[in-house]
Structure 1
Amino acid sequence: MSELHLEIEKLSGSEAKSLLLNILYRIEFLKKEEDSQSNIVQELLSLAEEVQQELHNEREFDSEKTAVHLICGESPAGSLRIGLSNENQIIGFPDFFAIGPFWKIHTDEGRKKRFEWLLDHINYEVDYIEEEYNSRIIKTLDQINTIPSSIPIILWTATNCDEQIALRYFLYLLREKKNDIYILNITEAFDQSKFDIRHSGEVASHQFKELYSTKSKMLITKEERVELENEWLLLSEKPEKLWIFENGTIQSVQEDYFDSSIIDLVQEIHNETGTIDFILTARVIGEMLSRYPHPIDHGFLEYRIRNLVIEGVFEIKGIPKSMRHYSVKLSLSK
């Protein structure tokens, strides 16, 4: 029973709701049947076995898979899954590593501190942090731990802060694995004169298929693995909350790094319209995302806009429960 409790604890909010709904449908069906009480009890026992088997299957590795692909983000993982054949196991890590503390997130204590910071600062919609974040992280870590030693692992990355940090973190998580590990850098694989790929999330499923079938994957040596694992350990000791990738290196910056750009953008929009009217926060964030050469987490930008409201730089109209629910303008008193 304790093992079953642990498996249920790993379910995300959406997974738990789906499972509960399925159980309730089955019970409602049984209520309409005119079977004997013993038959109903037997059916409920059968349902319980099905649920336990489904939870067991969630953590078991499919022995028919011939390669494992690890990529940063659930959306890129979905595109990769569509692009590759079924014998490839796809694992998408559900996090964005360029923001928030990642002090020792390879430990329970570090993951707890990161969760608490995200909960206190980042305003994701539909209660993602509260209901989904922890369970999805734990589930993904379990998937990584159950990778058998007999098949190759392909780490997809790109030349940006999020995925370069993730690459080092993934290699640290895989440090005990004896598998051959390959790295495929999407930014380097694409023809830069035709495509400007900032993040794996910008790659379509058919492009993933073409890259995997035509581009060479770099087999990482033991020495290279150790070097990148050690780089992760150094990064994971740092307390900073915001990171950028410049001149080929991962660099920490202050949390207010984007503030001046946000203020300048709002001023620019005021100048274009000729009035100091309220601007929907989603528009400000959209403009910032399109102008910056590297991917930024929209939740972090929204956090900084709220902070500028608190500091009196911006005036606010609406309730800041999401970037679609409030507008800002430059404060006339500043």
Structure 2
Amino acid sequence: MIHIVNGVSAAAALKNTFPETADQIISLPIDFSVGPITAIHLEHGVSIRADWEDSSFHPLNNRSGEALSIYQRSLKELKEVKNGEQLTIWTCENALEQIGLRIACFLLAGKQLELSIVNTQQALNEYLKDQEIQQTVRHSGECNAKQLAHFYNYSSLPITKDKRTAFEEDGKNLLHSTSQVRTWKNGEILEEAETRDDAFIIDCIKGQVAESAGNDYVDAIRVIGEAYGLSEQPISDSWIDYRIRSLIEAGQVAFIGGLQSMRSYKIKAVD
């Protein structure tokens, strides 16, 4: 079995789930929900993505070099998938994994394969249906190995021919997308402005200032941690830091300290 999974944490969780099997895990570690993904399946698209991450994220926070290297290796592994193989694509209710699902299907187009899908949120709902406690996961990496093993055994569904065709077409269109931000909402991938999260981040800044016992400025890292924890869709700390610095440039947020790392400056919202 070949597993295709999006995100570093989700890939690590799957490796813990199948440590003693011959299953192959192909990881797509790029956050497809933000930044350029135009032609991200080709060398020049990967180069554009790398340039964007280098210019947007701090070198201390930027882990894109390793992620892009893994991603390029994964592209090669997807090309090498042979007819007749069995593949499971893991996804969840977020833009990152829904886009990854569609791009993976596009890259596998034309191959005679047995394709299945596991949606970890839907599987979790089924898993907990008779229990009083309900749980929501923002991404597959929030599931533990026991849950993932159960989902694989009991919640894996075949991808029909029509659904596979639709995913392939969506993937093709996404690889021509020129937007910088993409959101998963009501079963659709929506293209949005780069400023999508700015109002939410400013609310987090104001909330932290209000709780800081009269201090005008609060540590940026505290705001980043709160925004990371409270966001409905998974967003990275590097993305939040990037948007804070963009808000500083726009005059909507003031700062003291140095912007060389997310731990070295304090911020407040400008009224």
- Match for 1:226 among 154, 158, 165? 165
Distance apart, 1:222 and its partner CA = 2.4
Residues 81-108 of structure 1 deviation map (CA, whole Å, 9 limit, x = unaligned): 1112412111111211100011121222
Q: Where in structure 2 are the equivalents of 1:47-126 lying within 5 Å?
A: 67-84=1-18, 85-123=20-58, 125=60
Asked whether the equivalents of residues 124 and 299 of structure 1 are also in contact (C-alpha less than 8 Å), the reply is: no
Ranked by relative contact order (alpha carbons within 8 Å, sequence separation 6 or more), the top structure is 2
Matches of 2:38 and 2:26 in 1, distance apart? 23
Residues 110-166 of structure 1 deviation map (CA, whole Å, 9 limit, x = unaligned): 22222211221123636533x424322211111222223333000000111111111
1:200 aligns with 2:140: yes
Unaligned runs of 5+ in 1: 1-66
**Residue in 1 aligned with 2:176?**
237
Residues 2-49 of structure 1 deviation map (CA, whole Å, 9 limit, x = unaligned): xxxxxxxxxxxxxxxxxxxxxxxxxxxxxxxxxxxxxxxxxxxxxxxx
Distance apart, 1:300 and its partner CA = 1.2
Matches of 1:223 and 1:291 in 2, distance apart? 36
Asked whether the equivalents of residues 153 and 181 of structure 1 are also in contact (C-alpha less than 8 Å), the reply is: yes
Asked whether the equivalents of residues 168 and 232 of structure 1 are also in contact (C-alpha less than 8 Å), the reply is: yes
- Match for 1:183 among 109, 114, 117? 117
Matches of 2:138 and 2:61 in 1, distance apart? 27
Matches of 1:316 and 1:227 in 2, distance apart? 47
**Could you say if the C-alpha distance between residues 235 and 305 of structure 1 is closer, same or farther in structure 2, counting changes exceeding 3 Å?**
same
1:296 aligns with 2:230: no
Residues 287-332 of structure 1 deviation map (CA, whole Å, 9 limit, x = unaligned): 112222221122111101011112222222232233222221234x
- Determine which structure has more spread, i.e. the larger CA radius of gyration: 1
Matches of 1:265 and 1:78 in 2, distance apart? 30
Asked whether the equivalents of residues 102 and 168 of structure 2 are also in contact (C-alpha less than 8 Å), the reply is: yes
- Match for 1:321 among 255, 260, 271? 260
Alignment length (residue pairs) = 264
Distance apart, 1:74 and its partner CA = 2.2
Matches of 1:146 and 1:114 in 2, distance apart? 24
Matches of 1:319 and 1:150 in 2, distance apart? 55
Instruction: Tell me the TM-score normalised to structure 1 length.
Output: 0.74
Matches of 2:184 and 2:34 in 1, distance apart? 12
**Could you say if the C-alpha distance between residues 99 and 260 of structure 1 is closer, same or farther in structure 2, counting changes exceeding 3 Å?**
same
**Residue in 2 aligned with 1:141?**
75
Unaligned runs of 5+ in 2: none
Asked whether the equivalents of residues 182 and 217 of structure 1 are also in contact (C-alpha less than 8 Å), the reply is: yes
Instruction: Tell me the TM-score normalised to structure 2 length.
Output: 0.90
Identity of aligned residues (%): 29
Matches of 2:79 and 2:67 in 1, distance apart? 19
